[in-house]
């Protein structure tokens, strides 16, 4: 196993609504749970910190298509920004907002709930979508001496992507565990574009065999 000293595992949005039959299901989203659990509770050296993120939207959130009487996946300019509108998902306190039932939540050190602002979404685990309002994650990782961040979860081309990009901007050595993510990939090819952007930014794309 590679050296995990001063490293954190960031599990992004592994929630019911992003898994099959959920309100905003990612194809194969439940297939990565066992592999992530193996990293959360490995037989050998563990990550210094395990951080989970979760969408936690109030009803009538600005990112919901229903809020604007529009169709899901359409776009709308909101406060001067082009916003993708989604089906209602991960509403605070709802079943869909819960973590996948098999995920070893009890092993986590911190849960970041994001997208709580009624008038702003939050794809990244580090910032709301204005790019300036922090979630507190950077301070937490810095305070605990974390230098390397390993990301997995849902979805690769959205919240994993934005979280990884902010991670490396903050100076963390950043890795995305490709076989422990799944993509929305709409339109087709979008996920490949995001992967190329990550590599160009200096993010390491690995798979779970890296830890063996």
Whether residue 1 has pLDDT greater than 60: no
Q: What is the pTM of this model?
A: 0.94
Mean per-residue pLDDT of the chain: 93
| CATH number of this structure's domain 7-56+96-211, picked from the four choices 3.30.70.3040, 3.40.50.850, 3.60.9.10, 3.40.50.10330 | 3.40.50.850
Q: How do residues 6-51 score in pLDDT, each as one tens digit?
A: 999 999 999 999 999 999 999 999 999 999 999 998 766 689 999 9
List 64's β-bridge partners, or say none.
86
> How far is residue 203's CA from residue 165's CA, in Å, rounded to a whole number?
8
Span between the terminal Cα atoms of the chain, in Å:
5
3-state secondary structure of 170: coil
Buried b (16+ CB within 10 A) or exposed e, 101-116: eebbbeebebebbbbe
Q: How do residues 40-70 score in pLDDT, each as one tens digit?
A: 987 666 899 999 999 999 999 999 999 999 9
Is the pLDDT higher at 16 or at 83? 16
| Active site positions, annotated | 13, 114, 159
pLDDT for the residue 43: 61
Q: How do residues 103-138 score in pLDDT, each as one tens digit?
A: 999 999 999 999 999 888 899 999 998 888 999 999
> How far is residue 119's CA from residue 62's CA, in Å, rounded to a whole number?
5
């Amino acid at each position: 196993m590679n050296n995990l000293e001063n490293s954190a595992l960031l599990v992004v949005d592994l929630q019911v609504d992003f898994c099959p039959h959920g309100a905003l299901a990612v194809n194969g989203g439940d297939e990565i749970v066992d592999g992530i659990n193996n990293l959360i509770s490995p037989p050998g050296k563990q990550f210094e910190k395990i951080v989970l993120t979760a969408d936690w939207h109030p009803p009538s959130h600005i990112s919901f298509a229903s809020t604007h009487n529009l169709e899901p996946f359409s776009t709308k300019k909101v406060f001067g920004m082009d916003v993708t509108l989604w089906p209602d998902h991960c509403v605070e306190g709802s079943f869909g907002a819960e973590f996948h039932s098999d995920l070893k939540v009890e092993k986590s050190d911190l849960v970041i709930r994001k997208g709580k602002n009624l008038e702003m979404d939050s794809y990244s685990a580090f910032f709301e979508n204005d790019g300036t309002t922090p979630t507190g994650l950077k301070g937490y990782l810095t305070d605990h001496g974390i230098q390397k961040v390993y990301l997995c979860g849902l979805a690769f081309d959205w919240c994993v992507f934005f979280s990884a990009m902010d991670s490396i901007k903050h100076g963390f050595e950043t890795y995305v565990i490709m076989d422990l993510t799944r993509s929305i990939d709409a339109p087709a090819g979008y996920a490949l574009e995001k992967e190329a952007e990550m590599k160009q930014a200096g993010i390491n794309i690995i798979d779970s065999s890296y830890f063996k």
